[in-house]
Amino acid sequence: NAGVTQTPKFRVLKTGQSMTLLCAQDMNHEYMYWYRQDPGMGLRLIHYSVGEGTTAKGEVPDGYNVSRLKKQNFLLGLESAAPSQTSVYFCASRTGLAGREQYFGPGTRLTVT
Amino acid sequence: ILNVEQSPQSLHVQEGDSTNFTCSFPSSNFYALHWYRWETAKSPEALFVMTLNGDEKKKGRISATLNTKEGYSYLYIKGSQPEDSATYLCAFRELSGSARQLTFGSGTQLTVLP
């Protein structure tokens, strides 16, 4: 099993450009999450999904959109990138069973100039 | 916004020393407390998921305790080794969260000096 994978690993964008980050998991997990990690701030939840076709806002959703058209994929979109979105983005997934951990992808480092 | 705090922010210890650090979280509406280990250039990996007051969990030289009534958890590392160098994250899950959402602390960065 590959676990949780993220594409791309690195990206540099100019202000105003758009892009989509792809998260894929092969563990048949129901729940998927997108986090951003900034120095001194830990992981902050951007958006999450409790199943195929459903998404919801997390703590810091502004400037991002998500879609979960297939159970194994969770896409994070930036429509008009801003320097404040420079960050490392982590995707995670977990089973719906109680008391289980989240599994994280390797991260995507995004720089917006 | 839930308040999950970890202390200290960073820690340097000598190889062989034992160490511990703290995670503080809300004492009400508790469901679970997670600990993750996060090595540089890798992704966070789960250490423990703790759900009951008084829980103690152990994995090798690493152990954790949980006090939900006062809202804290301790992570202990016995006989630290250089390979224990990492950031240790705790994450709180509240009872009312519908999507198993976690609120993360900012982590304790441990460096074990050989």
Q: Strand B5-7 vs strand A19-25: parallel, antiparallel, or unpaired?
A: unpaired
pLDDT value of position B98: 62
Mutation test of the interface with chain A: which of B48, B101, B103, B108, choosing the one with the most A Cβ atoms within 10 A?
B101
DSSP class of residue A16? T
Contact A20/A89 with Cβ under 8 angstroms?
A: no
Chain B residue whose CA is closest to A30: B99
Say whether residue A59 is in contact with chain B using an 8 A CB cutoff. Answer: yes
Q: What is the 3-state secondary structure (H, E, C) of B3-52?
A: CCEEECCEEEEECCCCEEEEEECCCCCEEEEEEEEECCCCCCEEEEEECC
pLDDT value of position B100: 72
What residues contact residue A73 under an 8 Å CB cut-off, 6+ apart? A22, A23, A24
Quick check: A101 and B49 CB within 8 A? yes
Please give, rounded to a whole number of angstroms, the shortest distance from the CA of B48 to a CA of chain A: 8
Give the pLDDT band (50/70/90) at residue B95. Answer: confident
Say whether residue A89 is in contact with chain B using an 8 A CB cutoff. Answer: no
pLDDT tens string B66-91: 999 999 999 999 999 999 999 999 99
What residues contact residue B62 under an 8 Å CB cut-off, 6+ apart? B47, B75, B76, B77, B78, B84
* Residue A84, SS3 per DSSP: helix
* B99 pLDDT more than 70: no
Mutation test of the interface with chain A: which of B1, B66, B102, B108, choosing the one with the most A Cβ atoms within 10 A?
B102
* B113 pLDDT more than 70: yes
Give the pLDDT band (50/70/90) at residue B53. Answer: very high
- Residues of B in Cβ contact (< 8 Å) with A100: 49
Partner residue opposite A106 with nearest CB, options B32, B43, B89 = B43
* B43 pLDDT more than 80: yes
Note the maximum CA span of chain B: 44
Quick check: B99 and A4 CB within 8 A? no
Please give, rounded to a whole number of angstroms, the shortest distance from the CA of B87 to a CA of chain A: 10
Partner residue opposite B100 with nearest CB, options A31, A40, A59 = A31
pLDDT (tens place) for every residue of chain A, 113 residues total: 779 999 999 999 999 999 999 999 999 999 999 999 998 888 999 999 999 999 999 999 999 999 999 999 999 999 999 999 999 999 999 998 877 899 999 999 999 99
Residue B91 to residues A88, B50, B72, B88, Cα–Cα distance (Å): 18, 10, 11, 10
Q: Strand A42-51 vs strand A54-57: parallel, antiparallel, or unpaired?
A: antiparallel
**Distance in angstroms between the alpha carbons of the first and the last residue of chain B:** 40
Radius of gyration of chain B (CA): 14
pLDDT value of position B67: 97
Say whether residue A103 is in contact with chain B using an 8 A CB cutoff. Answer: yes
